[in-house]
Amino acid sequence: MAVAEGCRLLGSRPARARPSPCQRLTAGVRRAGARAADAVRATVVAVAARVTRAAAAVGRVMGRIRESAHVRAAAKVLAAGVAVLVLARAGAARRAVALIDRARSAMSDGAAAAWTWVRGIRLLPAAA
């Protein structure tokens, strides 16, 4: 009787049937990947449910807005105000960039003038 058969008769696993460390590591990585995939699926389902609820709420609000002329007028005024703020901010950003450019230009012109002045200075020969 072979040793492997004797192990089977005793109910224990033969030594070769035990997974190697590499196989155990691979199995662990697969289990971790499956757990991560399950967590991602659960997150996606939860986010999809919230997005669906939010879209339904926006749809209800938009339905009410469509029915009310006063709310429509207020929405137009609000949209116009937001557009004015965006344009003002864009203008302010443009002005700030122009101001920074002018300051940089003035600094570089001043530095160039100073460098020209320094190069123009002649040192007097040392008195002997």
- Give the total number of structural domains in the chain: 2
- Statement to judge: residues 29 and 19 lie in one domain: yes
Amino acid present at 74: A
Integer Cα distance of 35 and 42 in angstroms? 11
- Statement to judge: residues 61 and 75 lie in one domain: no
Structure tokens at 36: 């991560």
Which range is least confidently modeled, 20-24, 31-35, 39-43, 79-83?
Answer: 79-83
Neighbours of 71 (CB within 10 A): 13
Structural domain harbouring 18:
14-67
Inform me whether the pLDDT recorded for 7 exceeds 50.
Answer: no
- In sequence order, what DSSP letters do the residues of 51-87 get, joined into one string? HHHHHHHHHHHHHHHHH-HHHHHHHHHHHHHHHHHHH
Q: Is position 98 within any domain?
A: yes
Could you read off the pLDDT of 74-111 as tens digits, one per residue?
878 888 888 877 777 777 777 777 777 887 887 788 77
Integer Cα distance of 5 and 96 in angstroms? 87
